[in-house]
Structure formats: structure tokens, C-alpha cells
Amino acid sequence: MSVTDELLANNARYAESFQGPLPLPPAKQVAVVACMDARINVYGVLGLNEGEAHVIRNAGGVVTEDEIRSLAISQRLLGTKEIILIHHTDCGMLTFTDDGFKQSILEDVGVKPSWAAEAFPDLDDDVRQSVARIKNSPFIPVKDSVRGFVFDVATGKLNEVG
């Protein structure tokens, strides 16, 4: 049995006690942008219930064009007003460089990605960079509550980046 099949069996159990449907717009009017890291259970970390917040995630929790797209849709069409950014300690993005990663792909398959891998050497600096990209975008209308945090994978605690 594949892992996917195992998780589908979990889903059948989840559906047995599921109560739905909830409304489409997030009840708490907040959007979270977090790293894809397996150790960050965003609903657990923030004490969120189903239906309360948009959750956007990618490698690093960085803000690229696709996060601007998602945040623009979140705020303009679905009414969110606050943004929470979450990076975390022991992040894989600290362990390589864009140049090295892209060179390894070139050597492996003969094609070099035209995109940035978005590796970063410093967590706090990259949280600030992600905040700056949001503040700099003309497509995100509400920017008065954009706050960035580093999740500590040892303690479970969010520490704010000033």
C-alpha cells in the first residue's frame, strides 16, 4: 500500500465525523504564509479551526509572485486583512545556495531552471525580505498588519521578527 492510499484511509475516518459546509470567506479574515516544512502544523501552531484562515505554503515560506497572486485573491475577493508570515529554525533553505541547486539540476537533466530557488542564509533577514516584498506590491490592498515570525521546531513557539 502506498503512503497516499494510507492517507486516503485516514481521510475516510476524518469524513465520518466531519461537519460541513462552512462559509467560503475565512472567518478570522487572516492569511498565513508559511514554509512547507512537515513539522509546521499551521492549524495546531496557531490554534486555528477549519474555516478561519487562508493558509499559503511553499519551500521557505518566501513571498514570490505566486504568494502575491494568492494574497491578492485572498484580500480582494475573500476579505482577509491581516497577514502572518512564518519561517522556522532548522530550515532546509539554509543548507544550499541557488547557484549550487540549479547547477545540480543542470548536471542531472540538462536544463537549468529559469526561476530562483529562493535559498537564504539568514532566517530573520528573509522574513524581513518577505515582509518587504508584500509592502512593495501594488496588488495587495491591506498592509497595516503584516507580521513575520520564526517558528522554533524545538519548542513549538513563534518568535516575532522585528
DSSP one-letter code for 87: E
149/151 Cα distance (integer angstroms):
6
Residue type at 19? Q
Question: Residue 101 and residue 112: Cα distance in Å, rounded?
Answer: 10
127 binds its own copies (CB under 8 A): no
Smallest distance from the beta carbon of 125 to its own copies, in angstroms? Answer: 19
> Does 88 count as an annotated binding residue?
yes
Measured from the CB atom, the residue of 25 and 124 that comes closer to its own copies is 25
Q: How far is the CB of 130 from its own copies (least distance, A)?
A: 13
Residue 106 to residue 145: CA distance in whole angstroms: 40
At residue 27, the 3 state secondary structure works out as coil
Residue where the block lists cell 521578527: 161
109 is a site residue for its own copies (CB under 8 A): yes
| DSSP code at position 79 | -
Q: Smallest gap, in angstroms, from Cβ of residue 109 to its own copies?
A: 5
What's the CA gap between 139 and 51, in Å, rounded? 24
Which of 97, 99, 115, 125 is in the footprint of its own copies by CB under 8 A?
115
Question: Site residues for its own copies, window 8-67 (CB under 8 A)?
Answer: 8, 10-15, 18, 20-22, 24-31, 36-48, 50-59, 64-67
* 66-105: contacts with its own copies (CB under 8 A): 66-70, 72-74, 76-78, 82, 84, 89-90, 92-93, 95-96, 101, 104-105
Grid cell 485572498 — which residue? 74
Residues annotated as binding site? Answer: 35, 37, 88, 91
Residues annotated as binding site for Zn(2+)? Answer: 35, 37, 88, 91
